[in-house]
């Protein structure tokens, strides 16, 4: 290959980057959120909950805490900037009512094997507010022994008292945003987080008995260089987190107005951006971590690593998991659920969320019901992005379809990806090769019927 970018693992040519580094979904769901309908509301969500109520299986619960004291320039999350405890107290009251409504719609189905608080900043809550929220959940749902109970934390605002309270409540895993430790990069993204704050929080989590610590990093940020990124990676490895996530920065200033603070000329692009990803992958693997899915790394004894070996890794809106429940419920503003054969998202605007709950309506703003084709393709995309392997016999056993026939239209593109060493295929399976794992979003896009039909959206770039 011409002009390769060399790493200890892979060679990626300039030609490959030009052809494959393009906008594409992250596939936290399929169908992807931009295709969902705004005509999916209260009645449709209640029907989905009714369909789910007849199942006898554990649930996954996600609670969105949208509040932050400051919005970073790179952020793409649904957040509300506030310093008021009063608005948080009001939000918790409405969350309690939403949780009660959903629980009633689910009837006797109340067992939970996965609970996640995301944001925003869940540690924006005081310890008393954390207790109130947890009580709202456990008043209506039963968290099973061994459940995955996790949340996102911000090292800049999280206290030892909060970590102790969270551990008392049964939280076992924390995921902390770091993004980058370099002061110049932090200044460029309007985020002031010292390395000392990160180190201190990791130590608190370990001292208080948290079973797993995850650190989130972002590559492709303004002012990032190979030298500065190397220092960040080596500092994070020295903390020996159980897991790490390395996300690609999605620069979408037209829809994320806070990102207009970022000078686009300061962003590494193309080969320069890929070099940052390749560097992180190489250093993490050299340090004993395993690449998991499209953007995670885990120690060999972590349950994610074990699940990869057994090809049973799964993924939902909360991330990679081995506790995949057949239905996931989302609570709070902008929260997304996958339940009863449908995908649903709550209102993003706080006033509209309050209004819906006040009226006794579910706060559902949009969603979609799965077609059979959606279900088949969602399963295929999940297998590709989680386990890098698609077993044709299992596909036929689950869905009664033959791969070669059902995906006949995709065969030429599969062959083209095979020529680029992204995938290999025989009569029994399709496997994503190491090079294709870097471009796994591109591999998944091949099976996206909406993209194939011409649907377009301002997605982030795939590398």
The tens-digit pLDDT sequence of the chain (463 residues) is: 333 333 345 677 778 887 888 888 889 899 999 999 999 999 999 999 999 999 999 999 999 999 988 888 788 787 888 777 789 999 999 999 999 999 999 999 999 999 999 998 999 999 999 999 999 999 999 999 999 999 999 999 999 999 999 999 999 999 999 999 999 999 999 998 999 999 999 999 999 999 999 999 999 999 999 999 999 999 999 999 999 999 998 887 888 888 888 888 889 988 899 899 999 999 999 999 999 888 899 999 999 998 888 888 888 877 888 877 789 999 999 999 999 999 999 999 999 999 999 999 999 999 999 999 999 999 999 999 999 999 999 999 999 999 999 999 999 999 999 999 999 999 999 999 999 998 999 999 999 999 989 887 767 777 7
Write out the DSSP string of 136-179: HHHHH-EEEEEEEEEEEE-TTT--HHHHHHHHHHT--EEEEEEE
- The whole-number pLDDT of residue 441 equals 92
Q: Could you count the other beta carbons within 10 Å of the beta carbon of residue 356?
A: 20
Q: Of 116, 232, 215, nearest to 181 (Cα)?
A: 232
Q: Residue 39: which of 342, 331, 338 has the closest Cα?
A: 342
Q: What domains are defined for the chain?
A: 31-327 (3.80.30.20), 372-456 (1.10.10.920)
| Per-residue confidence (pLDDT) for residue 10, from 0 to 100 | 66
**How far is Cα 320 from Cα 403, in angstroms, rounded to an integer?**
25
CA distance linking residue 378 with residue 342, whole number of Å: 12
Using DSSP, state whether 5 is helix, strand or coil.
Answer: strand
- pLDDT value for 9: 56
Strand order in the sheet with 111-119: 290-292, 296-298, 243-248, 212-219, 173-179, 142-153, 111-119, 59-65, 327-331, 336-339, 342-346, 364-369
Is the Cβ–Cβ distance between 306 and 292 less than 8 Å? no
Taking CA atoms, 251 is separated from 187, 409, 410, in Å, by: 17, 33, 30
Interatomic CA distance for residues 313 and 218, integer angstroms = 23
pTM: 0.92
Residue with tokens 């993209």: 451
CA dihedral in degrees (235, 213, 438, 259; nearest 10)? -80
For residue 61, the SS3 value is strand
DSSP string spanning 376-415? Answer: HHHHHHHHHHHHSEEEHHHHHHHH---HHHHTGGGHHHHH
- Residue 18: its pLDDT value, please? 79
First to last CA, the chain: 18
Name which of 200, 114, 186 is nearest 149 in CA terms: 114
- Which residues on neighbouring strands pair with residue 319, listed in sequence order? 316
Q: What count of residues does the chain have?
A: 463
Distances (CA, A) of 428 to 314, 414, 459: 21, 15, 33
* Inter-residue contact 16 to 1 (CB < 8 Å): yes
Contact 450, 381 (CB under 8 A): no
List, as one string, the DSSP characters of 407-435: TGGGHHHHHHHHHTTSEEE-SSEEEE-HH
Q: Which two tokens stand for residue 337?
A: 């659920």
């Amino acid at each position: 290959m011409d002009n390769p970018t060399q790493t200890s693992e892979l060679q990626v040519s300039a030609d490959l980057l030009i052809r494959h580094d393009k906008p594409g979904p992250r596939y936290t769901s399929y169908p992807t959120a931009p295709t969902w309908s705004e005509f999916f509301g209260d009645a449709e969500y209640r029907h989905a909950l009714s369909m789910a109520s007849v199942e006898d299986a554990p649930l996954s619960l996600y609670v969105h805490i949208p509040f932050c004291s400051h919005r970073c320039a790179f952020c793409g999350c649904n957040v509300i900037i506030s310093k008021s405890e009063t608005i948080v107290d009001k939000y918790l009251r409405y969350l309690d009512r939403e949780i009660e409504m959903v629980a009633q719609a689910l009837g006797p189905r109340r067992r939970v094997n996965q609970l996640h608080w995301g944001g925003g900043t869940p540690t924006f809550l005081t310890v008393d507010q954390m207790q109130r929220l947890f009580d709202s959940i456990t008043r209506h749902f039963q968290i099973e022994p061994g459940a995955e109970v996790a949340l996102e934390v911000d090292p800049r605002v999280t206290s030892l008292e909060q970590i102790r309270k969270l551990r008392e409540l049964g939280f076992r895993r924390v995921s902390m945003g770091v993004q980058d430790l370099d002061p110049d990069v932090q200044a460029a993204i309007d985020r002031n987080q010292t390395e000392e704050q990160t180190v201190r929080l990791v130590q608190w989590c370990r001292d208080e008995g948290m079973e797993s610590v995850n650190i989130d990093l972002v590559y492709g940020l303004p002012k990032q260089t190979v030298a500065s990124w190397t220092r960040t990676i080596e500092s994070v490895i020295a903390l020996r987190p159980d897991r790490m996530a390395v996300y690609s920065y999605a620069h979408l200033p037209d829809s994320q107005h806070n990102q207009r603070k970022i000078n686009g000329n300061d962003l590494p692009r193309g080969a320069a951006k890929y070099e940052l990803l390749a560097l992180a992958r190489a250093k993490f693997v050299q340090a004993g971590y395993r690449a998991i899915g499209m953007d995670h790394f885990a120690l060999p004894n972590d349950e994610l690593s074990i699940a990869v070996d057994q090809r049973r890794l799964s993924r939902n809106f909360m991330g990679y998991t081995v506790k995949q429940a057949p239905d996931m419920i989302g609570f709070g503003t902008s929260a997304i659920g996958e339940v009863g054969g449908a995908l649903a998202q709550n209102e993003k605007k706080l006033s509209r969320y309050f209004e819906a709950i006040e009226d006794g309506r579910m706060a559902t703003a949009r969603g979609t019901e799965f077609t059979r084709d959606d279900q088949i393709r969602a399963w295929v995309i999940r297998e590709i992005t989680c386990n890098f392997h698609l077993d044709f016999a299992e596909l036929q056993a689950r869905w009664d379809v033959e791969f070669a026939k059902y995906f006949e239209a995709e065969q030429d593109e599969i062959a083209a990806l095979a020529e680029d060493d992204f995938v290999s295929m025989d009569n029994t399976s399709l496997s994503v090769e190491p090079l294709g794992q870097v471009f796994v979003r591109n591999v998944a896009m091949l099976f996206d019927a909406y993209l194939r039909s011409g649907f377009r959206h301002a997605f982030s770039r795939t590398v």
